[in-house]
C-alpha cells in the first residue's frame, strides 16, 4: 500500500512541475502568462463535485486563489509523507 501512495506522490509532484513547465512554454510562445487555479480542476470535474464545493464559499475562494501547480505539489508531498509513515510502520 505504501508503494501506491509513493507513486501517487511522484505523480502529484511531477504533475505540479509539469504545469509550471507548460505555463513557461506558453509564456515564451505567446508572451502572456496563463495562470491555472486549483478551482479549474473542480470546474472540469463532475457536476456533483462542483455542487459540493460551491456549497462552501470559503473553500471555493481558497481554490480560486491557489495555483494548480502548488496544489499538485502539496498533494504529492502529502502522499510522500503518508507513504513514508506506512513504510516505517509496517517495515
At 65-74, the pLDDT tens digits run 999 999 999 9
Cell (9 digits) for 32 = 502572456
At 43-60, the pLDDT tens digits run 888 888 888 888 999 988
User: What is the model's pLDDT at position 91?
Assistant: 62
Query: How far is CA 74 from its chain centroid?
Result: 7
The span from the first CA to the last CA of the chain, in angstroms, equals 12
Contact (Cβ atoms closer than 8 angstroms) between residue 68 and residue 21:
no
Q: What residues form DSSP beta bridges with 37?
A: 67
Domain positions in the chain are: 2-90
Amino acid at each position: 500500500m505504501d508503494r501506491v501512495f509513493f507513486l501517487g506522490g511522484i505523480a502529484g509532484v511531477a504533475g505540479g512541475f509539469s504545469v509550471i513547465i507548460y505555463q513557461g512554454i506558453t509564456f515564451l510562445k505567446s508572451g502572456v502568462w496563463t495562470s491555472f487555479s486549483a478551482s479549474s480542476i473542480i470546474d472540469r470535474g463532475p457536476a456533483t463535485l462542483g455542487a459540493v464545493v460551491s456549497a462552501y464559499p470559503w473553500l471555493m475562494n481558497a481554490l480560486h486563489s491557489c495555483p494548480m501547480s502548488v496544489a499538485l505539489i502539496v498533494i504529492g508531498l502529502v502522499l510522500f509523507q503518508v507513504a513514508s509513515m506506512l513504510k516505517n510502520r509496517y517495515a
